[in-house]
Amino acid sequence: MSTSIQDIMNTSPVIPVMVINNVEQAVPLAHALVEGGLKVLEITLRTPAALESIQAIKAEVPDAIVGAGTIIDSRTLQQSIAAGAEFLVSPGVTDSLLDEALASGVPLLPGVITPSEVMRLLERGITAMKFFPAQAAGGIPMFKAIGAPLPQVTFCPTGGVNPGNARDYLALANVACVGGSWMAPASLVDAEDWTEIKRLAVEAAAIAL
């Protein structure tokens, strides 16, 4: 049986959201994060290097579980699957994207904010969702409020999650994992400071303990 998105969310409660500009930095960056204890990695399709980076990490960092983020249409979905993405993350969802993702069999973490969006996904049998942008959309009180009528949904908040609030998010009954970019900021990636990124990953992994 294939891995479900719930399995992936439970594997690593803190998921780095990575923006990679230079494919040569992909593997050392992934090594630093995995060695720091974060093995589920989301590579956003926001840079020309993203697809090649997914392929490189898959080939050279066997302990990583590599997903593709910023899936917004059929093209980005199919390119990610062809590159070997083990899971897909979208900031929002459309019916056609959902149809295509479900048909592919590759686990999808679709983005929502509103109760209506949650209910539309529940109708399709989906109970694990990204909540984006978490802080801007209301943060912790929003999760508590939405969890009252819709307790069957498990969320992965991303967008504005940081070391100061990640523990509070993870303590919520309807949050299984959080995503964020704070452990792989552009400044440290540009500087190729893998030691500091690994240290931030160790700290981030400890938040979930």
Cβ atoms of 45 and 67 within 8 Å: the answer is no
For residues 79 and 62, give the distance between their C-alpha atoms in angstroms, rounded to a whole number. 21
CB of 172 to ligand 3PG, least distance (A): 17
Closer of 60 and 190 to ligand 3PG (Cβ)? 190
Catalytic residue among 86, 100, 130, 198: 130
Find the binder of ligand 3PG among 76, 80, 165, 181 (CB under 6 A). Answer: 181
For 14-73, give the DSSP string. Answer: EEEEE--S-GGGHHHHHHHHHHTT--EEEEETTSTTHHHHHHHHHHH-TT-EEEEE---S
Residue 62 beta carbon to ligand 3PG: minimum distance, rounded to whole angstroms: 25
Query: Would residue 123 show up in a list of annotated catalytic residues for this protein?
Result: no
Name, in order, each residue with C-beta under 8 angstroms of 63's C-beta and a sequence gap of 6 or more: 34, 39
Q: Could you say which of 28, 84, 138, 160 contacts ligand 3PG (CB under 6 A)?
A: 160
Distances (CA, A) of 40 to 80, 138, 152: 16, 26, 24
* The two three-digit tokens of residue 182, written as one number: 């704070």
**Contact call for residues 54 and 68 (beta carbons, < 8 A):** yes
d(CA 133, CA 28): 28
Q: Is 144 a catalytic residue?
A: no
53, 54, 67 from 84: Cα distances, Å: 10, 7, 8
Q: Which stretch binds ligand 3PG (CB under 6 A): 72-80, 98-106, 180-188, 191-199?
A: 180-188
Provide the minimum distance between the beta carbon of 74 and ligand 3PG in the complex, in angstroms, as a whole number: 20
Among 54, 169, 179, 188, binds ligand 3PG (CB under 6 A): 179
17 binds ligand 3PG (CB under 6 A): yes
Q: Is 165 in the site for ligand 3PG (CB under 6 A)?
A: no
Q: Which is nearer to ligand 3PG, 107 or 159 (CB)?
A: 159
Query: Which of 80, 158, 165, 174 touches ligand 3PG by CB under 6 A?
Result: 158
Report the interface residues with ligand 3PG, using CB under 6 A.
17, 132, 158-161, 179-182
Q: Which residues are catalytic?
A: 42, 130
